Amino acid sequence: MIKTFHVALRDFLATVLTKGFIFGVLIMPLIMMGAAPLAMLLLNPKPPPVEGEIAFIDRTTDGVTQELQSAFAPEAIKRWVVDRAAEATEAAGAVIEKNLPADKAKQIKPMLDAAAKQVPVPDISAKFLPPDTNEDSAKSELSAVDANIEAATDAAKKQRLLAVIVIEPNAVSADASGSFGTYRMFIRSKLDVRVQSLIRAKVREAVITSRLRVNGEDPARIRSIMAFDPPDAKAVTRDGDKSSGEAAQMFVPLGFMMLLWISTFTGGQFLLTSTIEEKSNRIMEVLLSAVSPMQLMVGKIIGQMCAGLLILILYSGLGISGLIIFGQSHLLDWGNIALLVVLFLLAFGTIACLMAAIGSAVNDIHEAQSLMMPVTLIVISPMLLMMPIISDPKGAIATVMSFIPGVSPFVLVLRISSSDPPGMGQVAIAIALNIVYVTLLAKLAAKIFRIGVLMYGKPPNFSTLLRWIRLA
């Protein structure tokens, strides 16, 4: 036992005191925290300056031309852009007021208001082609290459065709079957998506206004009746009402999953590389002169498990601190933190046994890649099915995968942190199955480790590993 402890302590210190561990685990989160605000500053919400024309082919009998002229008038486009910028600023301001101290919020809000006022307005004009215009000939200009657009005159830029909109005949008045049509939209390649959104919104506005006019309704009155801003959901907690939403509820399961995945896989990767290095450098032979293969393997697993647990504690502390700072601590069930540690031990036990067996059987990291399929399946499967499990934590997929050894800890961590967690009976049964599985896997890994750790030469395949298990 004492020898195992010494091996574990040696491996733990050899891992956590390296520059790679300190930089990768401790400094990288700080860099990411600093990079997030920097990315927000570098993100340009302003669309690039756009000049050109939009051609309309109105095939309706009632006509949408008048409404399109009003919708695409320069002042109407400017008003739309300014309103959208104001809405974005208001939403961002509300989030800032909720989650930041009052003095910080007061400093940031003027910056948002100033940015909203500087949003450029596209210089777009509308031209109307005859209703019988051939659609293909009208849109042929869209495929022209703008090689010299920057050197073109201002007049040429303003006459450049950006899009062709074909209003269908039944877009305003329903056809014989009672169905309404819409429009077809053809754009120049690489037209900015924000400009595309503007075009869609303004054409929709014009078509709906025409429908209301044809049916004798007042568009302004109808829009005022239909205007309705749904309130934000408030979660009732012991500390008062807290803002809550789908994004926040999705964040917690994803956060738990990433914590488990990073800590488990990082610790397992350190175990694999350290085992291969010690074997290739013949340090393993020196160690085996003082301890047994079983003591060596168990000690290395415990040492790297402590390194993974350190990563889990550090990252969990950062995540919990962030939730507390932003007033979202009510999303956490503190009992799940204890379960997270239990699931980490089970998940790491699975990965570590496989990594120890693979590391002892090969001579370098390249040879290990061919034997990494079991580890890859365990790691990738929950990641691929993450969203279905979060959206339906009691569904058939989530329930079945909870009882599949190896994958089970990753699935359980998603389910217990979701909005509809499973019963503790299921969790207890799944944990018990994983304990049995890890125990059996450790015995098999020990047999491979005992033989493979002193074997050199050609790397083994799966059939060779099975033969070692039978011989040991």
pLDDT digits (tens, 9 = 90+) for 235-287: 565 555 555 555 556 777 888 888 888 888 888 888 888 888 888 888 877 88
pLDDT by residue (tens digit) across 277-321?
888 888 877 887 788 878 888 888 899 899 889 888 888 888 777
In Å, what is the CA distance from 318 to each residue of 33, 160, 195, 268, 326? Answer: 10, 52, 39, 22, 12
Give all strands (DSSP E) within 103-160, no chain letters: 123-129
pLDDT by residue (tens digit) across 375-385?
787 778 878 88
Tokens 């000690």, located at residue = 299
The reported pTM is 0.62
Mapped onto helix, strand or coil, the DSSP state of residue 83 is: helix
Q: Amino acid identity of 360? A: S
SS3 per residue for 274-342: HHHHHHHCCHHHHHHCCCCHHHHHHHHHHHHHHHHHHHHHHHHHHHHHHHHHCCCHHHCCHHHHHHHHH
**Dmax of the chain from CA atoms?**
96
Tell me the pLDDT band of 56, cut-offs 50, 70 and 90: very high
Tell me the pLDDT band of 433, cut-offs 50, 70 and 90: very high
- 46's CB contacts (< 8 A; 6+ apart) are 118, 119, 120
In Å, what is the CA distance from 243 to each residue of 26, 228, 327, 330, 418? Answer: 31, 20, 8, 10, 17
d(CA 216, CA 105): 48
Q: Rounded to 5 degrees, what are φ and ψ at 65?
A: -60, -45
Tokens 């040696």, located at residue = 10
Greatest mean pLDDT among 105-109, 196-200, 216-220: 196-200
Tokens 């206004």, located at residue = 209
- With residue 354 as reference, give the H or E element that holds it: helix 334-361
In Å, what is the CA distance from 60 to each residue of 127, 130, 131, 212? Answer: 16, 11, 8, 15
Tokens 């350290």, located at residue = 274
